[in-house]
Copies of this chain bind each other. A is one copy, B any other.
């Protein structure tokens, strides 16, 4: 099974239906190490919507990326047999049913022994992915980059499932082990005085944006590795982690975040994590015109996560 991307020095990037980084579309999962899978649900979005279009928007910009990661000195696609597995089908306007379908789709990947790399979607899609991955690997160490903790109990009309609640649900369901998990990047105004403390009470380690800069990026990378050591880890990257200047097209932008360079630097310094799944979420393409820099950043983050997985395997 050929799993090398199209050569962009031979065929211009704009030629052909775009898959993630011009990888082959998966016709089978057999023999793959990793699969890109779109999770195009935005039924959990409390404010801006349109993340259903994110997987294809990320694909469209990912064609600019090249296979070699110089930060880890690795050709990702030689180290890792990868393909683009297409998208999960969802049921727009039906959050519960969408989560079920998303879980089934990720489970098919995981059950084939393939590491899923999801493109969301609002942040509730991560709950579906965590369920699928934990079904195979047991309770997971969660590494969450996000400006919001998403650990509310309920949202509108007392609903338990939305983009604001997945990381409380995941603890309740026992699929995330908070004692080995860490949330990084919280900032901005809060609904209630206990917005951050509620995450801590759930057992998460919480690093606010201010604490991130006080700690320094190399030390924080080490802290992530230490926190998650000994556990299969799932990394979720909400694009609102960075400042809106770098990621304008997200569902709930929050002013005052780190730069793209700082975020990538942090990702590139993480080592020794046993990554069994990952996603990049909350891209909202209708707000990304015309230069689509948020989609490009999402694709770049995803490429770094693949490189992290490749480095761990190597």
> Known: A193-B68, A245-B293, A293-B244. Contact between A255 and B156, CB under 8 A?
no
* Least Cβ–Cβ distance between A16 and chain B, in angstroms: 5
* Least Cβ–Cβ distance between A37 and chain B, in angstroms: 11
Interface residues of A in 1-46 (CB under 8 A from B): 8-19, 25, 38, 40, 42-46
How many angstroms from the CA of A196 to the CA of B68 in the assembled complex?
Answer: 12
Q: Is the CB of B43 within 8 A of A43?
A: yes
Q: Is the interface of A mostly helix, strand, loop or mixed?
A: loop
How many angstroms from the CA of A210 to the CA of B59 in the assembled complex?
Answer: 27
Size bin of chain A's contact surface: 35 or more
How many angstroms from the CA of A303 to the CA of B190 in the assembled complex?
Answer: 12
Interface with B: A106-114, A137-145, A220-228, A283-291, which one? A283-291
Interface with B: A171-179, A229-237, A258-266, which one? A258-266
Binary B-proximity of A151-180 (CB < 8 A = 1, otherwise 0): 010111101001000000000000000000
In the complex, which residue of chain B has the Cβ closest to the Cβ of A301? B255
Partner of A25, one of B17, B70, B190: B17
Report chain B residues within 8 Å CB of A190.
66-70
How many angstroms from the CA of A259 to the CA of B89 in the assembled complex?
Answer: 36
> Known: A9-B156, A156-B9, A255-B300. Contact between A93 and B248, CB under 8 A?
no
In the complex, which residue of chain B has the Cβ closest to the Cβ of A98? B93
Report chain B residues within 8 Å CB of A52.
12, 14, 49
Partner of A14, one of B8, B40, B97, B209: B40
Q: Is the CB of A255 within 8 A of B87?
A: no
Instruction: Kindly state whether residue A116 has any CB partner on chain B within 8 Å.
Output: no
Interface residues of A in 86-133 (CB under 8 A from B): 86-95, 97, 101
How many angstroms from the CA of A47 to the CA of B12 in the assembled complex?
Answer: 7
List 21 A-B pairs, Cβ < 8 Å: A9-B154, A12-B90, A12-B156, A14-B52, A15-B87, A16-B86, A43-B43, A44-B92, A46-B92, A50-B286, A68-B192, A92-B156, A93-B95, A94-B94, A188-B300, A189-B303, A246-B255, A253-B291, A255-B264, A286-B290, A290-B290
Which A residues fall within an 8 A CB radius of B?
8-19, 25, 38, 40, 42-50, 52-53, 56, 59-60, 64-70, 75, 84, 86-95, 97, 101, 152, 154-157, 159, 162, 188-193, 195-196, 209-210, 243-246, 248-249, 252-253, 255-261, 264-265, 286-291, 293, 296-297, 300, 303
